[in-house]
Amino acid sequence: MVSDKLNIDVSEILDARGLYCPEPVFRTKIALEKLQLGNVLKILADDPAADDDISRWVDRNGHILLQKNQKNNYFEFLVQKGK
C-alpha cells in the first residue's frame, strides 16, 4: 500500500502529461538513471496505462514506489531510486 501522508523531498520532476505508452515509462527510466541512489523522482502522467505501467516498471527494476495519487485528470508518482 502506498501512503499519501508522507513528507518527501523531491529531487526531480518529470512531467509526462500528454505522452502515451511507452513514453512515460521510457522517460521515467532516463530520469532515474540521472539521479543518485536514494533520490526521489516525481512523475506526472495522464496516460491511463501509466498507472499500471509505471508501478510495474518501478517494481521490476528495483526502485521504490513511495507514493501514488490520482489527481483530477492525471497520476502523480513518487519514486525513490533503488539501485
Distance CA 59, CA 8 (A): 19
Of 19, 21, 44, 65, which residue is the catalytic one? 21
19 is known as an active-site residue: no
Tell me the angle at which helices 23-34 and 50-60 cross, rounded to the nearest 10 degrees.
40
Answer whether 43's CB lies under 8 Å from 19's CB: no
Active site residues: 21
